[in-house]
Amino acid sequence: MNLQPHQELAEGGPFGRPLFDDPSARALSRVGVVDVGSNSVRLVVFDGAARSPAYFYNEKIMCALGDGLAETGRLNPKGRERALDAIRRFQHLARGMRLGPLTAVATAAVRDAADGQDFCDEVARETGLRIWIIDGNEEARLSAQGVLLGWPGAYGLVCDMGGASMELAEIDGTGVGRRMTSPLGPLKLRHVKGGRRARKAVIRETVEEMRAHMGKQRDRLFLVGGSWRAIARIDMARRNYPLTVLHEYRMTAKQVRDTLHFIEKADLEKLRLRAGVSEARMNLVPIAIDVLHRLVRTFKPHDIAISSYGIREGLLYEQMPQELRDRDPLIEACWFAEAKDARMPGFGKTLYEFVLPLFKSARPSRIRLIKAACLLHDVSWRAHPDYRADVCFDYATRANLGGLKHSERVFLGLALQYRYRNRRPADRFGAFYELLDERSLKEAEILGKAMRFGAMLWMQPDHPIGTLKWQPKKKRLELTLPPEAQPLFGEVAEARLKSLAEALKSQVSVRMTG
Protein backbone atom coordinates (compact mmCIF):
# COMPACT_ATOMS: atom_id res chain seq x y z
CA MET A 1 0.00 0.00 0.00
CA ASN A 2 1.38 3.42 -0.94
CA LEU A 3 0.30 6.68 0.62
CA GLN A 4 -0.35 9.34 -1.99
CA PRO A 5 1.26 12.77 -1.60
CA HIS A 6 -2.00 14.44 -0.56
CA GLN A 7 -2.39 11.84 2.19
CA GLU A 8 1.14 12.53 3.41
CA LEU A 9 0.34 16.23 3.63
CA ALA A 10 -2.90 15.56 5.44
CA GLU A 11 -0.88 13.65 8.04
CA GLY A 12 1.42 16.63 8.56
CA GLY A 13 4.43 15.12 6.85
CA PRO A 14 5.65 11.59 6.28
CA PHE A 15 5.31 10.72 9.96
CA GLY A 16 2.16 12.57 10.88
CA ARG A 17 0.43 11.77 14.15
CA PRO A 18 -0.76 8.31 15.22
CA LEU A 19 -4.48 7.99 15.63
CA PHE A 20 -4.58 5.02 17.98
CA ASP A 21 -4.67 7.35 21.00
CA ASP A 22 -7.55 9.50 19.70
CA PRO A 23 -11.00 9.05 21.31
CA SER A 24 -12.46 7.61 18.08
CA ALA A 25 -9.74 4.96 18.04
CA ARG A 26 -9.79 4.26 21.77
CA ALA A 27 -13.47 3.41 21.45
CA LEU A 28 -12.38 0.51 19.23
CA SER A 29 -9.44 -0.54 21.39
CA ARG A 30 -11.16 -3.70 22.61
CA VAL A 31 -14.03 -5.05 20.53
CA GLY A 32 -15.53 -8.54 20.72
CA VAL A 33 -17.11 -10.26 17.69
CA VAL A 34 -18.87 -13.63 17.51
CA ASP A 35 -19.13 -15.28 14.09
CA VAL A 36 -21.67 -18.13 13.93
CA GLY A 37 -20.68 -19.92 10.74
CA SER A 38 -21.72 -23.12 9.04
CA ASN A 39 -18.55 -24.91 10.17
CA SER A 40 -17.40 -23.09 13.26
CA VAL A 41 -18.41 -20.61 15.96
CA ARG A 42 -15.65 -18.17 16.79
CA LEU A 43 -14.99 -15.37 19.27
CA VAL A 44 -12.42 -12.74 18.33
CA VAL A 45 -11.49 -9.86 20.62
CA PHE A 46 -9.55 -7.10 18.90
CA ASP A 47 -7.23 -4.91 20.93
CA GLY A 48 -4.51 -2.32 20.43
CA ALA A 49 -4.00 0.05 17.53
CA ALA A 50 -7.51 0.26 16.16
CA ARG A 51 -6.40 0.55 12.51
CA SER A 52 -4.29 -2.58 12.76
CA PRO A 53 -5.70 -4.39 15.76
CA ALA A 54 -4.03 -7.19 17.64
CA TYR A 55 -5.95 -10.36 18.35
CA PHE A 56 -6.33 -10.09 22.11
CA TYR A 57 -8.34 -13.32 22.14
CA ASN A 58 -9.27 -15.76 19.39
CA GLU A 59 -11.13 -19.02 19.97
CA LYS A 60 -12.81 -21.29 17.45
CA ILE A 61 -15.07 -24.26 18.13
CA MET A 62 -15.94 -26.56 15.23
CA CYS A 63 -19.70 -27.11 15.50
CA ALA A 64 -20.71 -28.06 11.93
CA LEU A 65 -24.09 -26.35 12.27
CA GLY A 66 -24.59 -26.71 8.53
CA ASP A 67 -23.79 -30.41 8.31
CA GLY A 68 -26.82 -32.23 6.86
CA LEU A 69 -28.67 -28.99 6.15
CA ALA A 70 -29.04 -29.79 2.45
CA GLU A 71 -30.89 -33.01 3.32
CA THR A 72 -32.93 -32.04 6.39
CA GLY A 73 -33.40 -28.28 5.99
CA ARG A 74 -32.50 -27.92 9.67
CA LEU A 75 -29.41 -27.23 11.73
CA ASN A 76 -27.30 -30.17 12.82
CA PRO A 77 -28.76 -31.01 16.30
CA LYS A 78 -25.39 -31.89 17.84
CA GLY A 79 -23.85 -28.84 16.22
CA ARG A 80 -26.61 -26.70 17.65
CA GLU A 81 -25.87 -27.94 21.17
CA ARG A 82 -22.15 -27.34 20.72
CA ALA A 83 -22.78 -23.85 19.37
CA LEU A 84 -24.99 -22.92 22.30
CA ASP A 85 -22.37 -24.17 24.76
CA ALA A 86 -19.69 -22.21 22.90
CA ILE A 87 -21.69 -18.99 23.04
CA ARG A 88 -22.33 -19.46 26.76
CA ARG A 89 -18.59 -19.73 27.24
CA PHE A 90 -17.93 -16.68 25.06
CA GLN A 91 -20.35 -14.56 27.08
CA HIS A 92 -18.58 -15.53 30.31
CA LEU A 93 -15.20 -14.73 28.76
CA ALA A 94 -16.46 -11.35 27.60
CA ARG A 95 -17.59 -10.46 31.09
CA GLY A 96 -14.22 -11.51 32.47
CA MET A 97 -12.47 -9.30 29.92
CA ARG A 98 -14.82 -6.42 30.78
CA LEU A 99 -15.86 -6.02 27.18
CA GLY A 100 -18.83 -4.06 26.00
CA PRO A 101 -21.68 -5.96 24.34
CA LEU A 102 -20.48 -8.56 21.85
CA THR A 103 -21.40 -8.14 18.20
CA ALA A 104 -22.69 -11.46 16.84
CA VAL A 105 -23.59 -12.45 13.30
CA ALA A 106 -24.79 -15.71 11.75
CA THR A 107 -24.28 -16.66 8.13
CA ALA A 108 -25.48 -19.26 5.63
CA ALA A 109 -26.38 -22.25 7.81
CA VAL A 110 -28.52 -20.25 10.24
CA ARG A 111 -30.15 -18.11 7.58
CA ASP A 112 -31.03 -21.14 5.41
CA ALA A 113 -32.22 -23.49 8.16
CA ALA A 114 -35.91 -23.74 9.00
CA ASP A 115 -34.97 -23.59 12.68
CA GLY A 116 -32.35 -20.85 12.29
CA GLN A 117 -34.41 -18.12 13.93
CA ASP A 118 -35.45 -20.54 16.67
CA PHE A 119 -31.77 -21.17 17.40
CA CYS A 120 -31.10 -17.42 17.64
CA ASP A 121 -34.07 -17.02 19.99
CA GLU A 122 -32.74 -19.81 22.18
CA VAL A 123 -29.31 -18.17 22.31
CA ALA A 124 -30.91 -14.88 23.35
CA ARG A 125 -32.91 -16.56 26.13
CA GLU A 126 -30.00 -18.63 27.43
CA THR A 127 -27.14 -16.14 27.11
CA GLY A 128 -28.59 -12.70 26.47
CA LEU A 129 -26.64 -12.43 23.20
CA ARG A 130 -28.55 -11.21 20.18
CA ILE A 131 -27.41 -12.75 16.91
CA TRP A 132 -27.91 -10.88 13.65
CA ILE A 133 -28.69 -13.14 10.72
CA ILE A 134 -27.15 -11.56 7.64
CA ASP A 135 -27.98 -12.38 4.04
CA GLY A 136 -25.45 -13.48 1.45
CA ASN A 137 -24.88 -10.03 -0.05
CA GLU A 138 -24.24 -8.54 3.37
CA GLU A 139 -21.86 -11.38 4.19
CA ALA A 140 -19.98 -10.65 0.96
CA ARG A 141 -19.81 -6.93 1.79
CA LEU A 142 -18.48 -7.49 5.31
CA SER A 143 -15.85 -9.97 4.12
CA ALA A 144 -14.71 -7.50 1.48
CA GLN A 145 -14.47 -4.77 4.12
CA GLY A 146 -12.28 -7.12 6.16
CA VAL A 147 -9.93 -7.35 3.18
CA LEU A 148 -9.88 -3.55 2.91
CA LEU A 149 -8.88 -3.37 6.57
CA GLY A 150 -5.72 -5.28 5.70
CA TRP A 151 -5.17 -3.87 2.19
CA PRO A 152 -6.27 -0.21 2.00
CA GLY A 153 -6.64 0.78 -1.63
CA ALA A 154 -6.82 -2.82 -2.85
CA TYR A 155 -8.45 -3.78 -6.16
CA GLY A 156 -9.82 -7.19 -7.01
CA LEU A 157 -12.30 -9.91 -6.27
CA VAL A 158 -12.92 -11.17 -2.74
CA CYS A 159 -14.06 -14.78 -2.44
CA ASP A 160 -15.29 -15.91 0.99
CA MET A 161 -15.98 -19.62 1.32
CA GLY A 162 -17.89 -20.82 4.36
CA GLY A 163 -19.29 -24.25 5.00
CA ALA A 164 -22.65 -23.76 3.30
CA SER A 165 -22.07 -20.87 0.89
CA MET A 166 -19.49 -18.94 -1.10
CA GLU A 167 -19.64 -15.20 -1.67
CA LEU A 168 -17.96 -12.94 -4.21
CA ALA A 169 -17.49 -9.18 -3.92
CA GLU A 170 -15.44 -6.72 -5.93
CA ILE A 171 -13.35 -4.02 -4.27
CA ASP A 172 -12.18 -0.98 -6.18
CA GLY A 173 -9.70 0.70 -3.87
CA THR A 174 -12.16 2.62 -1.70
CA GLY A 175 -15.23 0.43 -1.27
CA VAL A 176 -17.24 -2.62 -2.21
CA GLY A 177 -18.98 -2.93 -5.58
CA ARG A 178 -20.92 -5.82 -7.08
CA ARG A 179 -21.41 -8.85 -4.92
CA MET A 180 -23.37 -12.09 -4.82
CA THR A 181 -23.75 -15.35 -2.94
CA SER A 182 -23.90 -18.97 -4.05
CA PRO A 183 -24.42 -22.43 -2.53
CA LEU A 184 -20.82 -23.46 -3.27
CA GLY A 185 -19.97 -24.33 0.33
CA PRO A 186 -18.25 -27.69 0.78
CA LEU A 187 -20.77 -28.89 3.38
CA LYS A 188 -23.47 -28.53 0.73
CA LEU A 189 -21.43 -29.73 -2.20
CA ARG A 190 -20.46 -33.01 -0.59
CA HIS A 191 -24.12 -34.05 -0.64
CA VAL A 192 -24.44 -33.64 -4.43
CA LYS A 193 -25.44 -37.00 -5.86
CA GLY A 194 -23.30 -38.56 -8.57
CA GLY A 195 -19.86 -38.24 -7.06
CA ARG A 196 -17.05 -35.89 -8.03
CA ARG A 197 -18.00 -35.67 -11.70
CA ALA A 198 -21.51 -34.44 -10.88
CA ARG A 199 -20.15 -32.11 -8.23
CA LYS A 200 -17.66 -30.56 -10.65
CA ALA A 201 -20.49 -29.99 -13.13
CA VAL A 202 -22.46 -28.10 -10.46
CA ILE A 203 -19.37 -26.06 -9.59
CA ARG A 204 -18.70 -25.21 -13.25
CA GLU A 205 -22.28 -24.13 -13.93
CA THR A 206 -22.50 -22.02 -10.76
CA VAL A 207 -19.16 -20.29 -11.30
CA GLU A 208 -20.16 -19.43 -14.87
CA GLU A 209 -23.35 -17.82 -13.51
CA MET A 210 -21.25 -15.84 -11.05
CA ARG A 211 -18.92 -14.77 -13.84
CA ALA A 212 -21.90 -13.48 -15.85
CA HIS A 213 -23.07 -11.42 -12.87
CA MET A 214 -19.68 -10.13 -11.67
CA GLY A 215 -18.16 -9.39 -15.08
CA LYS A 216 -14.44 -9.44 -15.82
CA GLN A 217 -12.31 -9.62 -12.68
CA ARG A 218 -8.70 -9.80 -13.80
CA ASP A 219 -7.16 -8.13 -10.74
CA ARG A 220 -6.15 -10.00 -7.59
CA LEU A 221 -8.32 -12.77 -6.18
CA PHE A 222 -8.46 -12.48 -2.38
CA LEU A 223 -9.38 -15.73 -0.63
CA VAL A 224 -11.19 -15.56 2.73
CA GLY A 225 -12.17 -18.59 4.77
CA GLY A 226 -10.84 -21.65 6.57
CA SER A 227 -10.95 -23.97 3.56
CA TRP A 228 -8.80 -21.58 1.52
CA ARG A 229 -6.34 -21.25 4.39
CA ALA A 230 -6.09 -25.04 4.60
CA ILE A 231 -5.29 -25.18 0.87
CA ALA A 232 -2.63 -22.51 1.38
CA ARG A 233 -1.04 -24.59 4.15
CA ILE A 234 -0.92 -27.56 1.80
CA ASP A 235 0.58 -25.44 -0.99
CA MET A 236 3.24 -24.21 1.47
CA ALA A 237 4.02 -27.81 2.43
CA ARG A 238 4.22 -28.85 -1.22
CA ARG A 239 6.64 -26.02 -2.01
CA ASN A 240 8.63 -26.25 1.26
CA TYR A 241 7.84 -22.57 1.64
CA PRO A 242 9.80 -21.08 4.58
CA LEU A 243 7.39 -18.45 5.92
CA THR A 244 4.21 -20.10 7.17
CA VAL A 245 2.27 -16.87 7.74
CA LEU A 246 -1.02 -17.30 5.88
CA HIS A 247 -1.97 -13.64 5.50
CA GLU A 248 -0.71 -12.27 2.14
CA TYR A 249 0.50 -15.69 1.00
CA ARG A 250 0.48 -15.60 -2.80
CA MET A 251 -0.32 -18.32 -5.32
CA THR A 252 -0.39 -18.42 -9.09
CA ALA A 253 -2.86 -20.27 -11.30
CA LYS A 254 -0.17 -22.88 -11.99
CA GLN A 255 0.43 -23.41 -8.28
CA VAL A 256 -3.29 -23.93 -7.71
CA ARG A 257 -3.31 -26.52 -10.47
CA ASP A 258 -0.19 -28.23 -9.09
CA THR A 259 -1.70 -28.32 -5.61
CA LEU A 260 -4.91 -29.83 -6.99
CA HIS A 261 -2.90 -32.70 -8.49
CA PHE A 262 -0.82 -32.96 -5.30
CA ILE A 263 -3.97 -33.41 -3.20
CA GLU A 264 -5.44 -35.92 -5.67
CA LYS A 265 -2.36 -38.16 -5.35
CA ALA A 266 -1.70 -37.71 -1.63
CA ASP A 267 -2.55 -39.79 1.42
CA LEU A 268 -4.88 -37.20 2.96
CA GLU A 269 -4.16 -38.20 6.56
CA LYS A 270 -0.40 -37.92 6.11
CA LEU A 271 -0.85 -34.66 4.22
CA ARG A 272 -3.13 -33.30 6.94
CA LEU A 273 -0.51 -33.96 9.62
CA ARG A 274 2.29 -32.52 7.51
CA ALA A 275 0.40 -29.31 6.72
CA GLY A 276 -1.13 -28.88 10.19
CA VAL A 277 -4.76 -28.99 9.06
CA SER A 278 -7.56 -30.20 11.33
CA GLU A 279 -9.36 -33.42 10.46
CA ALA A 280 -12.72 -31.65 10.05
CA ARG A 281 -11.21 -29.10 7.69
CA MET A 282 -9.23 -31.68 5.73
CA ASN A 283 -12.43 -33.56 4.91
CA LEU A 284 -13.59 -30.49 2.97
CA VAL A 285 -10.31 -29.68 1.19
CA PRO A 286 -10.79 -31.96 -1.86
CA ILE A 287 -14.09 -30.21 -2.57
CA ALA A 288 -12.72 -26.72 -1.92
CA ILE A 289 -9.74 -27.19 -4.24
CA ASP A 290 -12.11 -28.17 -7.08
CA VAL A 291 -14.00 -24.91 -6.51
CA LEU A 292 -10.79 -22.86 -6.42
CA HIS A 293 -9.48 -24.47 -9.59
CA ARG A 294 -12.71 -23.61 -11.41
CA LEU A 295 -12.70 -20.03 -10.04
CA VAL A 296 -9.17 -19.45 -11.27
CA ARG A 297 -9.85 -20.98 -14.70
CA THR A 298 -13.01 -18.87 -15.10
CA PHE A 299 -11.98 -15.46 -13.75
CA LYS A 300 -8.25 -15.63 -14.64
CA PRO A 301 -6.97 -13.31 -11.86
CA HIS A 302 -3.43 -11.99 -12.24
CA ASP A 303 -2.57 -13.49 -8.86
CA ILE A 304 -4.16 -15.02 -5.78
CA ALA A 305 -3.70 -13.88 -2.18
CA ILE A 306 -4.82 -15.44 1.09
CA SER A 307 -6.51 -13.03 3.49
CA SER A 308 -6.69 -13.85 7.18
CA TYR A 309 -9.05 -10.89 7.45
CA GLY A 310 -12.71 -11.48 6.68
CA ILE A 311 -16.15 -10.96 8.10
CA ARG A 312 -14.99 -10.40 11.70
CA GLU A 313 -12.50 -7.74 10.64
CA GLY A 314 -15.19 -6.34 8.35
CA LEU A 315 -17.41 -5.79 11.38
CA LEU A 316 -14.60 -3.85 13.04
CA TYR A 317 -13.99 -1.85 9.85
CA GLU A 318 -17.72 -1.02 9.83
CA GLN A 319 -17.28 0.83 13.13
CA MET A 320 -14.23 2.84 12.06
CA PRO A 321 -14.50 6.53 11.20
CA GLN A 322 -13.25 7.30 7.69
CA GLU A 323 -10.19 9.11 9.05
CA LEU A 324 -9.08 5.86 10.66
CA ARG A 325 -9.88 3.75 7.60
CA ASP A 326 -7.61 5.95 5.50
CA ARG A 327 -4.55 5.26 7.64
CA ASP A 328 -1.80 2.80 6.79
CA PRO A 329 -2.32 -0.27 9.02
CA LEU A 330 1.38 -1.13 9.04
CA ILE A 331 2.53 2.30 10.23
CA GLU A 332 -0.27 2.55 12.81
CA ALA A 333 0.71 -0.86 14.22
CA CYS A 334 4.37 0.17 14.38
CA TRP A 335 3.46 3.47 16.06
CA PHE A 336 1.54 1.49 18.64
CA ALA A 337 4.38 -1.01 19.19
CA GLU A 338 6.88 1.81 19.70
CA ALA A 339 4.61 3.65 22.15
CA LYS A 340 4.05 0.44 24.10
CA ASP A 341 7.46 -1.24 24.06
CA ALA A 342 10.32 1.09 23.06
CA ARG A 343 12.63 2.57 25.68
CA MET A 344 12.28 6.03 24.18
CA PRO A 345 9.00 6.36 22.28
CA GLY A 346 9.29 9.01 19.60
CA PHE A 347 12.93 8.38 18.75
CA GLY A 348 11.85 6.29 15.75
CA LYS A 349 10.85 9.46 13.92
CA THR A 350 14.23 11.06 14.64
CA LEU A 351 15.99 7.93 13.42
CA TYR A 352 13.88 7.84 10.25
CA GLU A 353 14.80 11.43 9.38
CA PHE A 354 18.45 10.61 10.06
CA VAL A 355 18.69 7.55 7.74
CA LEU A 356 16.40 8.83 4.97
CA PRO A 357 19.16 10.64 2.95
CA LEU A 358 20.60 7.19 2.18
CA PHE A 359 17.43 6.32 0.24
CA LYS A 360 16.75 9.38 -1.91
CA SER A 361 15.67 7.36 -4.93
CA ALA A 362 13.63 4.76 -3.03
CA ARG A 363 10.06 4.04 -4.11
CA PRO A 364 7.20 4.96 -1.74
CA SER A 365 6.71 1.27 -0.95
CA ARG A 366 10.31 1.09 0.29
CA ILE A 367 10.09 4.38 2.20
CA ARG A 368 7.10 2.88 4.02
CA LEU A 369 9.22 -0.08 5.17
CA ILE A 370 11.99 2.27 6.29
CA LYS A 371 9.43 4.10 8.45
CA ALA A 372 8.25 0.82 9.91
CA ALA A 373 11.79 -0.38 10.66
CA CYS A 374 12.72 2.84 12.46
CA LEU A 375 9.60 2.67 14.60
CA LEU A 376 10.34 -0.96 15.50
CA HIS A 377 14.09 -0.62 15.94
CA ASP A 378 13.93 -0.74 19.76
CA VAL A 379 10.77 -2.68 20.62
CA SER A 380 12.66 -5.94 21.30
CA TRP A 381 15.17 -4.51 23.77
CA ARG A 382 13.94 -6.77 26.59
CA ALA A 383 15.17 -9.89 24.77
CA HIS A 384 18.52 -11.37 25.80
CA PRO A 385 21.31 -9.57 23.90
CA ASP A 386 22.52 -12.83 22.35
CA TYR A 387 19.10 -13.43 20.79
CA ARG A 388 17.85 -9.93 20.19
CA ALA A 389 18.56 -9.95 16.44
CA ASP A 390 16.70 -13.25 15.99
CA VAL A 391 13.77 -12.02 18.09
CA CYS A 392 13.54 -8.95 15.83
CA PHE A 393 13.45 -11.12 12.73
CA ASP A 394 10.78 -13.39 14.19
CA TYR A 395 8.71 -10.38 15.24
CA ALA A 396 8.76 -8.74 11.82
CA THR A 397 8.09 -11.92 9.87
CA ARG A 398 5.39 -13.38 12.12
CA ALA A 399 3.66 -10.48 13.88
CA ASN A 400 0.10 -9.50 13.04
CA LEU A 401 0.94 -6.68 10.66
CA GLY A 402 -1.47 -5.70 7.92
CA GLY A 403 -0.67 -4.51 4.41
CA LEU A 404 2.65 -6.36 4.25
CA LYS A 405 3.78 -8.82 1.57
CA HIS A 406 5.90 -11.78 2.60
CA SER A 407 8.97 -10.36 0.87
CA GLU A 408 8.40 -7.09 2.73
CA ARG A 409 8.20 -8.98 6.03
CA VAL A 410 11.58 -10.55 5.32
CA PHE A 411 13.06 -7.17 4.29
CA LEU A 412 11.83 -5.63 7.53
CA GLY A 413 13.09 -8.55 9.60
CA LEU A 414 16.50 -8.51 7.96
CA ALA A 415 16.93 -4.77 8.47
CA LEU A 416 16.10 -5.21 12.16
CA GLN A 417 18.57 -8.09 12.36
CA TYR A 418 21.32 -5.80 11.12
CA ARG A 419 20.19 -3.25 13.69
CA TYR A 420 21.46 -5.63 16.38
CA ARG A 421 24.02 -7.74 14.51
CA ASN A 422 26.72 -6.61 12.12
CA ARG A 423 26.54 -9.74 9.95
CA ARG A 424 23.70 -11.76 8.50
CA PRO A 425 23.37 -15.31 9.86
CA ALA A 426 23.32 -17.81 7.02
CA ASP A 427 21.98 -20.85 8.83
CA ARG A 428 18.62 -20.46 10.55
CA PHE A 429 17.10 -17.88 8.21
CA GLY A 430 18.80 -18.74 4.93
CA ALA A 431 15.62 -19.96 3.22
CA PHE A 432 13.82 -16.74 4.13
CA TYR A 433 16.43 -14.57 2.41
CA GLU A 434 15.65 -16.33 -0.87
CA LEU A 435 12.38 -14.34 -0.95
CA LEU A 436 14.44 -11.19 -1.60
CA ASP A 437 16.50 -10.18 -4.64
CA GLU A 438 20.12 -9.05 -4.27
CA ARG A 439 19.23 -5.36 -4.33
CA SER A 440 16.72 -5.76 -1.51
CA LEU A 441 19.21 -7.78 0.54
CA LYS A 442 21.74 -4.97 0.21
CA GLU A 443 19.20 -2.23 1.00
CA ALA A 444 18.12 -4.10 4.13
CA GLU A 445 21.76 -4.32 5.23
CA ILE A 446 22.31 -0.59 4.65
CA LEU A 447 19.12 0.33 6.50
CA GLY A 448 19.94 -1.95 9.42
CA LYS A 449 23.49 -0.68 9.76
CA ALA A 450 22.30 2.92 9.51
CA MET A 451 19.84 2.28 12.34
CA ARG A 452 22.55 0.48 14.31
CA PHE A 453 24.76 3.55 14.06
CA GLY A 454 21.97 6.10 14.53
CA ALA A 455 20.90 4.38 17.76
CA MET A 456 24.31 5.32 19.22
CA LEU A 457 23.30 8.99 18.94
CA TRP A 458 20.35 8.39 21.21
CA MET A 459 18.96 11.61 22.71
CA GLN A 460 15.55 12.99 23.53
CA PRO A 461 13.00 12.65 20.72
CA ASP A 462 12.94 15.59 18.30
CA HIS A 463 16.52 16.62 19.25
CA PRO A 464 18.84 16.75 16.21
CA ILE A 465 21.35 13.89 16.29
CA GLY A 466 23.23 14.96 13.20
CA THR A 467 22.81 14.57 9.47
CA LEU A 468 24.01 12.14 6.86
CA LYS A 469 24.88 13.25 3.34
CA TRP A 470 25.20 10.50 0.75
CA GLN A 471 26.64 11.04 -2.70
CA PRO A 472 26.14 7.70 -4.50
CA LYS A 473 27.98 8.64 -7.71
CA LYS A 474 31.05 9.81 -5.81
CA LYS A 475 30.67 7.01 -3.25
CA ARG A 476 31.06 9.53 -0.46
CA LEU A 477 29.30 9.50 2.92
CA GLU A 478 29.49 12.53 5.18
CA LEU A 479 28.33 12.77 8.79
CA THR A 480 27.73 16.18 10.36
CA LEU A 481 27.36 16.27 14.15
CA PRO A 482 26.00 19.25 16.15
CA PRO A 483 27.66 20.06 19.50
CA GLU A 484 25.06 18.22 21.60
CA ALA A 485 25.65 14.97 19.70
CA GLN A 486 29.45 15.07 19.53
CA PRO A 487 30.05 13.50 22.98
CA LEU A 488 28.04 10.46 21.81
CA PHE A 489 30.42 9.75 18.93
CA GLY A 490 32.74 7.35 20.73
CA GLU A 491 34.71 4.29 19.63
CA VAL A 492 31.71 1.99 19.19
CA ALA A 493 29.79 4.62 17.25
CA GLU A 494 32.79 5.20 15.01
CA ALA A 495 33.08 1.47 14.31
CA ARG A 496 29.40 1.27 13.40
CA LEU A 497 29.71 4.24 11.04
CA LYS A 498 32.66 2.52 9.38
CA SER A 499 30.57 -0.65 8.94
CA LEU A 500 27.82 1.40 7.29
CA ALA A 501 30.33 2.98 4.94
CA GLU A 502 31.66 -0.46 4.00
CA ALA A 503 28.13 -1.62 3.16
CA LEU A 504 27.80 1.44 0.90
CA LYS A 505 31.30 0.80 -0.51
CA SER A 506 32.08 4.45 0.18
CA GLN A 507 34.57 6.78 1.77
CA VAL A 508 33.38 8.44 4.96
CA SER A 509 34.13 11.77 6.60
CA VAL A 510 32.93 13.36 9.84
CA ARG A 511 32.36 17.06 10.31
CA MET A 512 31.86 18.65 13.74
CA THR A 513 29.91 21.92 13.87
CA GLY A 514 29.71 24.61 16.55
* DSSP string for 470-497: EETTTTEEEEEE-TTTGGG--HHHHHHH
Residue 435 carries which DSSP code? Answer: T
Strand 131-133 and strand 103-106: the pairing is parallel
Give the CATH number of domain 328-461.
Answer: 1.10.3210.10
- pLDDT, position 24: 54
What is the rounded distance in angstroms from the CA atom of residue 488 to the CA atom of residue 193? 77
- 100 and 114 Cβ atoms separated by less than 8 Å: no
- For the stretch 101-110, pLDDT in tens is 999 999 999 9
- pLDDT, position 202: 97
- 431 and 179 Cβ atoms separated by less than 8 Å: no
Alpha helices in 326-379 (DSSP H): 329-341, 347-355, 364-376
Banded pLDDT at 424 (limits 50, 70, 90): confident
What is the rounded distance in angstroms from the CA atom of residue 370 to the CA atom of residue 446? 11
What is the rounded distance in angstroms from the CA atom of residue 212 to the CA atom of residue 270? 39
Residue 285: Cβ-neighbour burial (10 angstroms; 0-12, 13-18, 19+): buried
Show contacts of 231-237: CB within 8 Å, 24+ apart: 231/259, 231/285, 231/288, 231/289, 231/292, 232/306, 233/275, 233/276, 233/277, 234/259, 234/262, 234/263, 234/271, 234/275, 234/277, 234/285, 235/259, 236/275, 237/271, 237/274, 237/275
Terminal-residue alpha carbon distance, the chain: 42
pTM of the full predicted structure? 0.88
- 259 and 290 Cβ atoms separated by less than 8 Å: no
- pLDDT, position 16: 57
- pLDDT, position 6: 35
- pLDDT, position 114: 97
What is the rounded distance in angstroms from the CA atom of residue 362 to the CA atom of residue 463? 25
3-class DSSP state of 340: helix
Query: Phi, psi (5° rounding) for residue 512?
Result: -100, 130
Banded pLDDT at 25 (limits 50, 70, 90): low
b/e 42-72 (16+ beta carbons within 10 angstroms → b) = bbbbbbbbbbbbeebbeebbbbbbbbbbbee
- For residue 8, pLDDT beyond 80: no
What is the rounded distance in angstroms from the CA atom of residue 420 to the CA atom of residue 416? 7
- 381 and 388 Cβ atoms separated by less than 8 Å: yes
Residue 369: Cβ-neighbour burial (10 angstroms; 0-12, 13-18, 19+): buried
Domains 28-133 and 137-313 share a fold: yes
- For residue 504, pLDDT beyond 70: yes
- For the stretch 129-174, pLDDT in tens is 999 999 999 999 999 999 998 888 899 999 999 989 999 999 998 7
Give one DSSP letter per residue of 242-270, joined into a string: S----TT-EE-HHHHHHHHHHHHHS-HHH
Distances (CA, A) of 123 to 84, 85, 307, 454: 6, 10, 30, 57
- For the stretch 308-325, pLDDT in tens is 999 999 988 888 888 888
- For the stretch 355-413, pLDDT in tens is 999 999 999 999 999 999 999 999 999 999 999 999 999 999 998 888 899 999 999 99
3-class DSSP state of 428: coil
Beta strands in 142-265 (DSSP E): 155-161, 166-172, 176-182, 220-224, 250-251
- For residue 21, pLDDT beyond 60: no
Give the CATH number of domain 28-133.
Answer: 3.30.420.40
Q: What percent of the chain has pLDDT over 70?
A: 93
Question: Please, which residues bridge with residue 471 across strands?
Answer: 476
For residue 339, which amino acid is it?
Answer: A
What is the rounded distance in angstroms from the CA atom of residue 59 to the CA atom of residue 97? 14
For residue 309, which amino acid is it?
Answer: Y
3-state DSSP helix/strand/coil % of the chain, to nearest 5: 50, 15, 35
Question: Please, which residues bridge with residue 512 across strands?
Answer: 481
Query: Phi, psi (5° rounding) for residue 18?
Result: -65, 145
Domain coordinates in residue numbering, the chain: 28-133, 137-313, 328-461
Question: Please, which residues bridge with residue 121 across strands?
Answer: none
Q: What percent of the chain has pLDDT over 90?
A: 76
What is the rounded distance in angstroms from the CA atom of residue 275 to the CA atom of residue 288? 16
Residue 357 carries which DSSP code? Answer: G
Domain with residues 137-313, CATH architecture: 2-Layer Sandwich (3.30)
Query: Phi, psi (5° rounding) for residue 236?
Result: -60, -45
Select from 232, 249, 216, 332 the least CA-distant residue to 292.
232
Question: Please, which residues bridge with residue 40 across strands?
Answer: 62
- 345 and 338 Cβ atoms separated by less than 8 Å: yes
What is the rounded distance in angstroms from the CA atom of residue 389 to the CA atom of residue 56? 26
